[in-house]
Structure 1
Amino acid sequence: MAYPANYRYTREHEWIEVTGKVGKIGITDYAQDSLGDIVFVESPKVGAAVTKGEVFGSVESVKAVSDLYSPVTGTVTEVNEELASAPEKINTSAHEAWIMKVELSDPAEVDSLLSAADYEKFIAEETGH
């Protein structure tokens, strides 16, 4: 699996794609693969404040419920309503099925996130291959 080079990644397996001052956020292919079949996505409401490193929602799979951690601080401008009725979209296309969009309070926060190459290295260390 090639991870999009224009995205940034967290050690909790979220990705963010930044356009201007807005970040589109989802979970990585590695995360969806680890979770198994996703049956429910809990996302914040539009207008909610999110904080870098803090929980903003969760993803429920047939195996477990996993918290989602925001890669940035900001305000939720949009949530992917499609996931309410079709959460499995994350399983089929994790890097396109975004969960929320956030207007960044501090765009420089993105600089501290992992690049695609660094994220791939991180997964290799975590999995041992």
Structure 2
Amino acid sequence: MKIPEDLKYTKTHEWAKVEGNKARIGITDVAQEQLHDIVYVELPEVGDEFSKEDTIGVIESVKAASDIYAPLSGKVVAVNNAVVDSPELLNQDPYENWLIEIEIKNPDEIKELLSAEEYKKVVEEES
């Protein structure tokens, strides 16, 4: 189980890499392990806006479908179409293969995200 120290996390297994007023968002290693073979990814469009904890997409595997939740409020400025075209990339490396990039609407929300250490505790409590 990989949990990079330089990212922020949610209890619902999304990560955010914050750089200035933008954040790249993806799913964690734990999420891709729970889903197993990912076969489909649906993501929002560039220009879409959403609030923290809104559903921003869906990931389907041979076992289940799972919603993707926004770790931060913002506006989509980029979508990783490589993941849409080849969903299995998320199983190979969920940190390298981000889902969307947003322009952050409310920087104060960053403080509410979990550190790598806090996220590890969440994962341990679940297992």
Q: TM-score, normalised by structure 2?
A: 0.97
Partners in 1 of 2:83 and 2:8 — Cα distance? Answer: 22
Q: CA deviation at 1:34?
A: 0.2
Report matched runs for 1:81-120 at 5 Å: 81-120=81-120
- Aligned residue number for residue 75 of structure 2: 75
- Aligned residue number for residue 15 of structure 1: 15
Q: CA deviation at 1:2?
A: 3.4
> Counterpart of 2:18 in 1: which secondary structure?
strand
Q: Tell me the alpha carbon deviations over residues 49-96 of structure 1, each in whole angstroms, 9 at most, x when there is no partner.
A: 021011011101000110000000010000001012211110000111
Q: Tell me the alpha carbon deviations over residues 4-33 of structure 1, each in whole angstroms, 9 at most, x when there is no partner.
A: 111000011000000111000000000000
> Counterpart of 1:6 in 2: which secondary structure?
coil
Aligned pair count reads: 127
Runs ≥4 residues deviating over 6 A: none
Gaps of 5+ in 2: none
What is the percentage of aligned positions where both structures have the same residue? 44
RMSD after superposition: 0.7
- Aligned residue number for residue 63 of structure 1: 63
Partners in 2 of 1:62 and 1:126 — Cα distance? Answer: 22
Q: Is the 8 A contact 2:8 2:114 kept in 1?
A: yes
Partners in 1 of 2:20 and 2:57 — Cα distance? Answer: 24
